[in-house]
């Protein structure tokens, strides 16, 4: 599965099978997380076979079951866009490995996350990961015209980028972002005020780059 295919296949999954991540899949996931950790400077801990953070009333209320693994992302304040941008790289890579994921900002217990305590950084968000008991389903989406703006004709790469962004996960499916074509090959991405909307912005920029392909544009 390519990363572009992963964008289409990915949906948030909240129910997981009792099947550990092991062997080559685990090795590939770990080395990918290592690379993204180096690239981003973010603190990312892959927690395996420990469901305590999801064994809470909140998690059950959020319809989570069987979560045994997650990636905890810790960062200083002001890192939300990076968290989204780099975390979504891992989400999409995990999908190519046959794994499912769900970003989780609220419906888990932060106190039960098993990570080393570090100075100046605290857990900001987690990504549940594992073999899903289901594949999830496509989310309702805003219209293309609500999230894309251009003065003239939109080039194909811009359309592809926006379409990839519309498939991205956003907190409560709020999709509070907009892509604006500036001149011929520059793009401005903005997020409207909303719950976790800077993490969302990083996520949708990651999708846009994959859909539009980096050589076609620069960020304004
Ligand atoms: C930043 C962020 C935070 C999220 N937090 C939660 C959460 O606390 N609980 C939950 O059940 N889903 C959470 N989600 C998942 C969204 O509800 C989901 O991505 C959205 O409904 C779109 O569905 P999809 O991911 O299947 O495309 C979160 C997603 C994002 C991007």
pLDDT digits (tens, 9 = 90+) for 14-26: 999 999 999 999 9
Round to whole Å and give the CA distance between 44 and 188.
28
Q: Is the model's pLDDT at 12 over the cut of 90?
A: yes
86 and 183 housed in the same domain: no
24 and 55 housed in the same domain: yes
Mean pLDDT of 56-79: 92
Q: What's the DSSP call for residue 49?
A: S
Q: What's the DSSP call for residue 215?
A: G
Q: Is 203 in the pocket of ligand 1 (CB under 6 A)?
A: yes
**Ranges 5-9, 55-59, 64-68, 127-131: which has the least confidence:** 55-59
Domain final residue pick, 130, 165, 198: 130
Q: Is 185 in the pocket of ligand 1 (CB under 6 A)?
A: no
Confidence at residue 121, expressed as pLDDT on a 0 to 100 scale: 83
Substitution site in 7, 12, 142 for ligand 1 pocket (most atoms within 8 Å of beta carbon): 12
Q: What's the number of domains the chain is made of?
A: 2
For 149, half-sphere exposure in the C-beta direction (CA atoms, 13 angstrom radius) is 10
Confidence at residue 116, expressed as pLDDT on a 0 to 100 scale: 77
Round to whole Å and give the CA distance between 209 and 160.
9
Round to whole Å and give the CA distance between 103 and 128.
6
Note whether 115 and 123 are within 8 A (CB).
yes
Which value, in Å, is the radius of gyration of the alpha carbons in the chain? 17
φ, ψ dihedrals at 16, nearest 5°: -120, 150
Domain final residue pick, 130, 152, 171: 130
Work out the burial of residue 51: count CB atoms within 10 Å of its CB; fewer than 13 is exposed, 13-18 middle, 19 or more buried: buried
Domain limits for position 37: 3-130
Confidence at residue 150, expressed as pLDDT on a 0 to 100 scale: 97
Confidence at residue 141, expressed as pLDDT on a 0 to 100 scale: 98
Whether 102 is covered by a domain: the verdict is yes
What are the tens digits of pLDDT across the range 94-136? Answer: 999 999 999 999 999 999 998 877 887 889 999 999 999 999 9
27 and 85 housed in the same domain: yes
Whether 167 is covered by a domain: the verdict is yes
Whether 119 is covered by a domain: the verdict is yes
Q: Is 60 in the pocket of ligand 1 (CB under 6 A)?
A: no
Q: Is the model's pLDDT at 60 over the cut of 90?
A: no
Looking at per-residue confidence, does 110 or 77 come out higher?
Answer: 110
∠ CA 27-84-80, rounded to 5° = 125
The enclosing domain of 157 has a CATH number of 3.40.109.30
112 and 17 housed in the same domain: yes
Residue nearest to atom 21 of ligand 1 (CA): 173
């Amino acid at each position: 599965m390519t990363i572009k295919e992963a964008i289409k296949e990915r949906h948030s999954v909240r129910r997981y099978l009792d099947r550990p991540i092991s062997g080559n899949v685990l090795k590939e996931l770990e080395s990918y997380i290592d690379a993204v950790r180096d690239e981003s400077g973010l603190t990312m801990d892959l927690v395996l076979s420990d469901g305590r953070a999801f064994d809470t009333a909140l998690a059950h209320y959020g319809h989570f079951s069987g979560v045994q693994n997650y990636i905890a992302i810790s960062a200083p304040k002001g890192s939300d866009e990076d968290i989204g941008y780099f975390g979504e790289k891992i989400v999409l890579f995990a999908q190519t490995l046959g794994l499912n994921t769900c970003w989780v900002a609220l419906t888990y217990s932060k106190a039960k996350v098993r990570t080393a305590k570090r100075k100046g950084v605290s857990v900001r968000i987690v990504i549940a990961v594992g073999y899903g008991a289901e594949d999830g389903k496509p989310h309702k989406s805003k219209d293309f015209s609500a999230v894309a703006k251009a003065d003239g004709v939109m080039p194909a790469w811009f359309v592809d980028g926006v379409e990839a962004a519309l498939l991205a996960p956003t907190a409560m499916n709020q999709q509070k972002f907009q892509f604006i074509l500036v001149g011929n090959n520059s793009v401005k991405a903005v997020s409207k005020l909303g719950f976790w909307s800077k993490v969302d912005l990083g996520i949708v920029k990651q999708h846009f780059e994959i859909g539009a392909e980096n050589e076609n544009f620069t960020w304004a």
